[in-house]
Amino acid sequence: MTYATNLDDRSGLPEEWLFLLKDHPREIWTSHRNLGPMTEFWLERHNGFRRLGGMLEGLLSKFREDQIRAEQFGGRFAPLLQQFLSELHHHHTIEDHHYFPVFMAAEKRLLAGFELLENDHELIHHRIETVIRSANKLFGQLGTRDRDSIRRAADSFAGVSDTLISGLIRHLEDEEDLIVPVILDRGERQLGLS
């Protein structure tokens, strides 16, 4: 069976990887006896990235619609973007080096799924680098009075930022659908996570 593996083309994971999700659907996660503190923290980190991404999109949209002045935008947007990108990079590093190896060893039937998630991380890392370059161009233009240059830089940044955030949202959903059911099925303690 073929399915889209590209982060921008897929709309979820293939059915054959979701056998544990069928036994442990999202609706029962918060009340499941095996939902431990590490998993709750990890899910909250994901929700934090969703919130930060939404805040960045909202600020950028207001700026592009001339609802925020350039000085005000830069002062609010730059630290928020830096927080988002650095926390995301750190989060993926921990997942790649500490958590994914545990899940790969625990559930060999999902190796291809975990490898897909690792590939997502590589792609997201490259997108982070693109966002940083584009943000630097935008911030460099904010100090000028050239409204056309600022507009072009903001439009360019919006494109690469949207690519990063929309791909990240897809990745977070897929990662949760694969990993949380493994944890709920086995338990954090049995997996050596707590």
Span 129-140, pLDDT tens digits: 999 999 999 999
Give the pLDDT confidence score for residue 1 in this predicted structure.
53
CA separation for the pair 154, 29 (Å, rounded) = 40
State the amino acid at position 100 in one-letter form: F
Q: What is the pTM of this model?
A: 0.94
pLDDT at 145 over 90: no
- The Cα angle at residue 62 between residues 56 and 68, in degrees rounded to 5: 110
Q: Summarize pLDDT for 38-57 with one digit per residue, the tens.
A: 999 999 999 999 999 999 99
pLDDT band for position 4 (50/70/90)? Answer: confident
E strand or H helix that includes residue 124: helix 111-142
Task: Say how far apart CA 74 and CA 125 lie, in whole Å.
Answer: 23
pLDDT in tens, 64-78: 999 999 989 999 999
Q: How far is CA 191 from the centre of its chain?
A: 24
pLDDT at 2: 58
CA distance 149 to 43: 40
Q: Enter the DSSP assignment of 68.
A: S
Q: Does domain 15-191 have CATH number 3.60.90?
A: no
In the chain the first and final C-alpha atoms are separated, in Å, by 37
How far is Cα 95 from Cα 42, in angstroms, rounded to an integer? Answer: 10
DSSP 3-state assignment of 119? helix
**Considering only 4-8, 145-149, 178-182, which range has the smallest mean pLDDT?**
4-8
